[in-house]
A and B are shown apart, each in its own frame.
Chain A
Amino acid sequence: MKSYLLLFSFLGLFISCETDFDPIYRSAPIPVCYAFLDAEDSIARVRLSKTFILEDAFKQDNIPSDSLEFPDARVWLERWNGDYLYLRAELMQSYQAREPGLFPSSPNPIFILPKDENTARIFDPPNQKDLIKLIIDIPGYPLVYSQLSPLRPASISFPRKNGERITFYSIEGFMPKCKVYSYYQEGWIGIEYTDHYADSDILRTAWWREYHSDSSMFNPPPFKVTSEEFLMKAGIFIPDDDAVRYRTFHKVWIKIFGADRNYYEYNLRAQVSPIDQSGLPYSNLVNAIGLFAATSSTKKWGVLNYFMKDSLCYSQYTRHLKFTPW
C-alpha cells in the first residue's frame, strides 16, 4: 500500500511540475486599427497594421516588409439610422510616409475615404439613433468591427463671428462662450503670427491648451483668460529664435476640441501603465486592438485690440519675442 502511495505521489509530482512555458507565445498576428472620425476633416482615415514577433533582437532591417500590413484587407465605413442603412462606403488603400521612429522605412498602409458628394453623408450632422460602423474584412481572420455615435461639434457663441476684436483687459478676463456636445472637451488658444527672417517670412501658429474637462461635463463653465495669463503663455509657447528679425501678429484663435468617450477612456488608460504589463490597452474593436473614436474641432478667430497688441510687443513676458505693433 505504501509503495503505491509513493508511486502515485511521484507521478503526481512529475505531472504537476510540467514547466513548458513559452515566454513568446506565437499566436497569429492580431489586427491593430486606429481610426478617428472628425466631421471637419475632408477625409476619413483608417490605419490598419498587425502585431508581430521578432525572432531576434530588434534591428531595423530584420523586420519583414509584409509584417506590418494586411495587403488584402477591405475596409468599410457605414452609417446607420437605427436598423436602416444610410450609407455604405468602401475605403481605398493608400500609403502614407512614416514619421521618423521605429519603422521609418516600412510600409505605412492606411485606408482613406475622401469626402465627396457620394460619401459626405457619412459626416452629416448626427441624429439621435445614428451609428457609424467600421468593418474590416481580412481574409483568414474574423471580421473586425467597431461602432460609435457621431459627434456633434461644439458651437462658439462668443466671439460671435470671425474677426471680432478681443480684449483680455476686462475685470473677468476674456471668456469665450461655447456649447459642447462631446464627452470630453478641451479649450485651446492660438496666436497666428509671422516670423520675419532676413531672407524669408514664415507664417506660424502657437497653440496652448487653456482648459480641459475631466469627464462628461456638458456645457461646462467657459474658461477665462486674463491679460497677464495670455501674455505669460505667449511668452512661453512662442519660441525664441535669434534669427528672427521681427514678428507680426495676425490672429488669436479659439479652438474647442471635443472627443467621445472612447477617445477619453483610451487616453486615460494609456496614461496608466499596468504594473505587470500583462493587460491589453483599452480597445473598442471586436477581434482587433486599437481605437475607433470620434473627435470634433471648432475654431473662431479674432484680433487683438490696440492695448493688447501694445502689451504683446512691450510687456515683460513677451518683449523678447520681437513683436512689432505695425
Chain B
Amino acid sequence: MSHFSYRNLFILTIMGLLFSCEAENLPPVACFSLSPDQGDSLTVFYFDARESYDPETPGFGMRLRWDWNGDSIWDTDYIKEKEYVRRFKTGSWHQVIMEATDQDGLVSLYSDSLLIFEGNGFVDSIIDPRDGQVYSIARINYQWVMTENLRFGTALDISVQPENNGITEFYNYQNNPEYAHYGGLYNWDETMNYKAEEGNQGICPPGWHVPKLTEWKDMLGIFPSKGADMNYYWGKESPSGFNLELLGFMYYTLPPDSLLSWYPKNTVAWWCSDEPADYLQDPDDFVYSIRFFMSRWEMRRMIYRFDYFWDERSLLKFACYLRCFKDMD
C-alpha cells in the first residue's frame, strides 16, 4: 500500500471514530401519574408528568401534549407544564394518552385510563302483587336489589309487640306515620316471617328474598367498605344507584319497661337472613345486619332478642329496614 493510501486510511479512521462517537439521541421518557383514577363530573383529575424527562436535556426542551379520550386526536397544543388538571364531563372509561417530544422531535407516548361514573343504567321497578306498591330496583354487581325499603304490612304503635299472627307488622321511625315512606322497621322474626332459613322469602314479594350476608357482601364489594363517602358511592344519584339514605333504626322492649331507642339519622341497618345458631333456644343469640355509616359499612351482629331483666316482657329486640334481593334464575 502506498504512502498516500496509508494517509487516507488514517484520515478515514479518525473521521469514522469521530462520527461514531457522536452520542445517539434518545427519545424522551414519558410517564405520568393520575389521581384519582375514578370519579364523577365534578372530580378534578390531576395528571403529574414530572417524572417524564429527556435524557439529553434533562429539565429543558421537552414538550407535552394530551389526548383525553384516546381518539388519537390531540386535545392540547404542546405545552411546557408537566402538571395538568381537568374535569371530564362525559361518563364511562377514558383512555388518556400523553406524548412527550424533545427538541429533536423524537417522541414517546404514555397512556393510562380513568373512569367517570355514570348513573346505574340497570334500573327498573316492580309492583308488589300483594298490595300494589311500586318499588324501584337496580342491578348492582349482577344482583337485582330493591333500592327502596320494604313498606309491606301494617304499622303498629310502639306500645304493641309484633306477633306471629299472619299479619306482617312494622313500626314507623320515631313511631310517626309521617315517616312511613322511609319503609317499615321490622324485627327479625317478622322479617323472616317466623321461619329462620337462609335466603328465605320472608316478607319479601314473590320471586324475591331476604338477602344472606354473603349476598350483601358480594353486592357491596364493588366499592370499599371504609374510608369512603358512602353517600357518594351508594346514595341517590350515585354510580351504584342503591339509593342509600341514613334513616336510623331502633330497639325496643315491651311495656311496662318500654325501653326504646331510636338510632339517629347518621346510620341505617338492614337485615340479613343468616340463621342464628340455636335459633330460639338461646335468647341471647345474634342475627346479622348490614349497617351503614357516613364513611363505612360493616356487618353487625345484633342481639336477636336480649333478656334484659330476665323477664319475658323485657325482651329487647332490634327493628331494622329490609331491602329484598331478587331470586337468581
A-to-B contact residues, CB < 8 Å: 80-88, 117, 121, 127, 131, 133, 135, 142-143, 145, 147, 286-287
Contact = CB atoms under 8 A, between A and B. Distances in A.
Contacts of B85: 142-143, 145, 286-287
B78 to A, nearest CB: 17
Interface stretch (B15-23, B103-111, B119-127, B221-229): B221-229
B229 A83 contact: no
Nearest to B43: A85
Nearest to A84: B228
A145 B46 contact: yes
* Smallest CB-CB A-B distances: 3 pairs: A81-B227, A83-B36, A84-B228
B26 interface: no
Contacts of B83: 286
Contacts of A127: 227
Interface in B219-250: 223-224, 227-229, 232-233
B87 to A, nearest CB: 7
A84 B36 contact: yes
B80 interface: no
Contact of A143 (B35, B39, B44, B81): B44
B227 A84 contact: yes
B232 A85 contact: yes
Contacts of B232: 85, 88
Given A81-B224, A143-B44, A286-B83, A86 B229 contact: yes
Contacts of A131: 35
B36 A80 contact: yes
B39 A145 contact: no
Nearest to B37: A83
Determine the interface band of chain B, counting residues with CB < 8 A from chain A. Answer: 20 to 34
9 contacts: A83-B35, A83-B36, A84-B227, A86-B228, A135-B44, A143-B87, A145-B85, A147-B35, A286-B85
B82 to A, nearest CB: 10
Given A85-B39, A88-B42, A121-B295, A143 B86 contact: yes
Residue from A80, A84, A287 having most chain B Cβ neighbours under 10 A: A84
A86 B227 contact: yes
A131 B227 CA distance: 12
A117 B294 CA distance: 11
B44 A81 contact: no
A215 B64 CA distance: 34
A131 B33 CA distance: 15
B270 to A, nearest CB: 22
Interface in B62-120: 81, 83-87
Nearest to B44: A135
Given A81-B227, A83-B37, A145-B85, 15 more contacts: A83-B35, A83-B36, A84-B229, A85-B228, A85-B229, A85-B232, A85-B233, A87-B229, A88-B42, A131-B35, A133-B46, A143-B85, A143-B86, A286-B81, A286-B85
B161 interface: no
**Per DSSP, are chain B's interface residues mostly helix, strand or loop, or mixed?**
loop
A208 B280 CA distance: 69
A245 to B, nearest CB: 54
Contact of A84 (B42, B86, B223): B223
Contacts of A83: 35-38
Contacts, number: 58
B87 A81 contact: no
A86 B295 contact: yes
**Per DSSP, are chain A's interface residues mostly helix, strand or loop, or mixed?**
strand
A81 B46 contact: no
Residue from B87, B228, B266 having most chain A Cβ neighbours under 10 A: B228
Contacts of B42: 88
B47 to A, nearest CB: 10
A121 B37 contact: no
Nearest to A87: B229
Contacts of B38: 83
Nearest to B226: A81
Nearest to A287: B85
A191 to B, nearest CB: 42
B309 to A, nearest CB: 35
Residue from B35, B229, B232 having most chain A Cβ neighbours under 10 A: B229
Residue from A86, A88, A142 having most chain B Cβ neighbours under 10 A: A86
Nearest to A145: B85
Contacts of B228: 81, 84-86
B46 A147 contact: yes
A309 B24 CA distance: 76
A131 B83 CA distance: 17
Contacts of A117: 266
Contacts of B86: 143
Nearest to A117: B266
A83 B228 CA distance: 9
Nearest to B81: A286
A33 to B, nearest CB: 14
Interface in B115-149: none
Contacts of A84: 36, 223-224, 227-229, 233
Given A84-B36, A86-B295, A286-B83, A145 B44 contact: yes
Nearest to B227: A81
A87 B229 CA distance: 6
A90 to B, nearest CB: 10
Nearest to B47: A286
Contacts of A286: 46, 81, 83-85
